[in-house]
Amino acid sequence: MVKNVSILGSTGSIGRQSLDIIDNLKIPVCALTAGSNVEMMAQQCRKYRPQLAVMATREAAEALQKALSDVPVEISWGEEGLLRAATMPQVDCVITAVVGMVGLKPTLAAIRAKKRIGLANKETLVCAGELVMAEAKKYEAEIIPVDSEHSAIFQCLMGMHHKREIKKIILTCSGGPFFGKSREELQDITKADALRHPNWKMGAKITIDCATLMNKGLEVIEAMRLYDLPLSQVDVVIHRQSIVHSLVEFTDGAMMAQMGSPDMRLPIQLAMTYPERLPCPVEPLDLTACGSLSFCKPDTQAFPCLELARVCAQKGGTACPVMNGANEEAVALYLQDKIGFYDIYRLVKLAVDTVPFIQNPTLEEILEADRLARQAVRNAM
């Protein structure tokens, strides 16, 4: 089990659930970071007494300083603060639970400082997965996926040493709140409908990604990078109940699946206790109560983002960071009621089609591709 943890994005959905697990495992917290939620960060600092607390902006950091004038905690802000939280010498595990590309540099820094990464921040692997995985190998840093599907695959592969024995990874997908609806029926979908996920309670950005199925597209790329597999070996099936968290099919046709209650705290805890398994505060799965389990193909007509992500995954290079950056920007616009549901796909596709493509980008070129993609979306507005 790890000994000292930093949580990047502690005020978010994954961040708060990580703190629940910290309560369970009683591991000291060295650093917490957040965007703008000063009030929640102040509460967390009072309870967990980290050495370092980081906010996204100087203003938020100053407000936190005021709120914590009686608490001995160092307060920092911005990228520099995030990098410090990711690399503190006494920390051996960094949970990356920030949302979006902002997680990339701190994840790389934590890898180079040889920390174990509990990786929730999938955008990092989508944008720069090849680079991140190469650095992890070079610095012998463990990356333990927190995303439920990838944790499931990780668990199915625990103790397996030959990659050649994997025929396929099969990611399960709940189908989101609009499963079964046609493209016509989805034209005028409201933000409130899109924010209502049937099985999981998550941050706003990933909840919209689940409604468009872009989340599953991001996860296909995440799986390719984590397990070094080509697109042809990563499939997606719709599984409405979110009980089977994903599967591996082996060369002999055997399939292994990981099942459990839909609760992120199990994969979060495993990232901290691996290779051990310890009791976890998750509701146990009652097989006799979960009814029948169903599997079917995704509808890529109604949910074109999944297919777009597969095209970008196949293309590689800057196609993935462009798609991701454009998606982050478009989802933010959708959450501000500035665009409609299918405009997300339209704008992401436009960015993918127009931003210049580079086959083997450096980190700087990835960051530039992200910037250009966001700009392309804003310009198209």
Q: What angle do CA 197, 202, 206 make, to 5 degrees?
A: 85
Q: Is-cis flag, bond preceding 275, omega within 30? A: yes
Cα-atom radius of gyration of the chain, to the nearest Å?
A: 20
Q: Find tokens 């046609």 and name the residue.
A: 182
Q: Which residue is nearest to Mg ion (CB)?
A: 147
Per CB under 5 A, contacts with Mg ion among 77-136 are none
Stretch that binds Mg ion, among 44-52, 149-157, 226-234, 255-263 (CB under 5 A): 149-157
In one-letter notation, the amino acid at residue 240 is R
Separation CA 377–CA 381 (nearest Å): 7
Give the helix/strand (H/E) hosting 247.
Answer: strand 244-250
Q: Looking at 2, 5, 6, 9, which residue binds ligand NDP (CB under 6 A)?
A: 9
- Which listed option, Mg ion, ligand NDP, none, makes contact with residue 126 (CB within 5 to 8 Å by class)? none
| Residue 204 contacts residue 195 (beta carbons within 8 Å) | yes
| Total interface residues for ligand NDP by CB under 6 A | 27
Q: Looking at 116, 122, 197, 265, which residue binds ligand NDP (CB under 6 A)?
A: 122
For ligand NDP, the closer CB: 23 or 80: 80
- Which listed option, Mg ion, ligand NDP, none, makes contact with residue 12 (CB within 5 to 8 Å by class)? ligand NDP
For ligand NDP, the closer CB: 42 or 131: 42
Interface mask toward ligand NDP for 146-185; x: CB under 6 A:
-x--------------------------------------
Separation CA 18–CA 267 (nearest Å): 10
Q: Find tokens 């950091």 and name the residue.
A: 61
DSSP H stretches of helix in 88-213: 104-112, 122-139, 148-156, 191-194, 204-212
Q: Looking at 177, 198, 203, 317, which residue binds ligand NDP (CB under 6 A)?
A: 203
Q: Looking at 29, 64, 93, 102, which residue binds ligand NDP (CB under 6 A)?
A: 102
The CB-of-123 to ligand NDP minimum distance in angstroms stands at 5
Q: Which residue is nearest to ligand NDP (CB)?
A: 12
Separation CA 233–CA 60 (nearest Å): 45
DSSP H stretches of helix in 260-362: 265-273, 304-315, 319-335, 341-354
For ligand NDP, the closer CB: 44 or 51: 44
For Mg ion, the closer CB: 92 or 149: 149
Compute CA distances 364 → 128, 361, 370, whole Å.
11, 8, 10
Q: What angle do CA 297, 215, 226 make, to 5 degrees?
A: 95
The CB-of-151 to ligand NDP minimum distance in angstroms stands at 9
Closest CA to 168 of 61, 290, 253: 253
As beta bridge partners, residue 226 has none
Applying CB under 6 A, does 121 fall inside the site for ligand NDP?
yes
For Mg ion, the closer CB: 235 or 368: 235
Interface mask toward ligand NDP for 10-49; x: CB under 6 A:
xxxxxx------------------xxxx------------
Applying CB under 6 A, does 56 fall inside the site for ligand NDP?
yes
Applying CB under 6 A, does 98 fall inside the site for ligand NDP?
yes
Applying CB under 6 A, does 222 fall inside the site for ligand NDP?
no
The CB-of-188 to ligand NDP minimum distance in angstroms stands at 26
Applying CB under 5 A, does 147 fall inside the site for Mg ion?
yes
Provide the 10 A C-beta neighbour count for residue 292: 5
The CB-of-33 to ligand NDP minimum distance in angstroms stands at 6
Is the sign of the CA dihedral 110, 226, 202, 28 positive or negative?
A: negative
> What angle do helix axes 214-227 and 304-315 make, rounded to 10 degrees?
30
The CB-of-376 to Mg ion minimum distance in angstroms stands at 27
For Mg ion, the closer CB: 18 or 148: 148
Q: Find tokens 């709940």 and name the residue.
A: 174
Binding site for Mg ion (CB under 5 A): 147-149
Binding site for ligand NDP (CB under 6 A): 9-15, 34-37, 56, 97-99, 102, 120-123, 147, 200, 202-203, 205-206, 264
